[in-house]
Amino acid sequence: MMSQGNDEINAKSDLRRVMRARLKNLTEPTLRAWSAQLVRHLQNRQDLWAKPGTIALFGGLRSEPDLVSTFLPWLREKGWRVCFFKVCDTGLLPVEVKDLSDLQRGSMNVWEPLGTEVLPLSSLDVILVPALAYALTDGARLGRGGGFYDRLLSRSDVRARLIGIAFQIQLMPEVPAEAHDIRVPDLVTELG
């Protein structure tokens, strides 16, 4: 008989497989259109952008929304300080970027900053959080399996507002979650 913990791990693995297949089948034009719509919805969130601060973005994987092409320059024009996370061992470290030339593909093929000056986590006002799936009920998130964001977001010095970013096909009624999994109830997709 399997323990409850093993059942959750198997459920997560199964959902990861389903979501990866779903995202892999999306065409480039669909991904571009959905990314543009998602960015427009983000830009319209006046509750987020009224007062400039520091925001952490993510990106680089084919199946993720493009937050670099138009959103990064828009934020900079609004006076926001933008950072991306550098992968360091099993952790994520925020480093400021000004434009695409400050980014490179890291070991996991995600965008990582070229700079080395790490910002304090407590200085972040907003963190856009990626996932393979989000639960509509409580914002439970299914990451890619490395635990990087769960470790980051559970730190006591993270005080930022968390905004889940995903495409509508990544939203599920429920997502298997364990006690250590971080929930992100504020979600933005290409539909709003």
The whole-number pLDDT of residue 2 equals 38
SS3 8: helix
Beta bridge partners of 38: none
Amino acid 8: pLDDT:
59
- pLDDT tens, per residue, the chain with 192 residues: 333 455 555 789 999 999 999 999 999 999 999 999 999 999 999 999 999 999 999 998 999 999 999 999 999 999 999 999 999 888 899 999 999 999 999 878 899 999 999 999 999 999 999 999 999 999 999 998 888 999 999 999 999 999 999 999 999 999 998 888 889 989 999 999
Q: Which of 61, 71, 1, 70 is nearest to 31 (CA)?
A: 61
Q: Quickly list H helices, 25-138.
A: 28-43, 46-49, 71-77
Pairing of strands 103-105, 54-56: unpaired
Count Cβ atoms within 10 A of the Cβ of residue 90 and give its class: 0-12 exposed, 13-18 middle, 19 or more buried. Answer: exposed
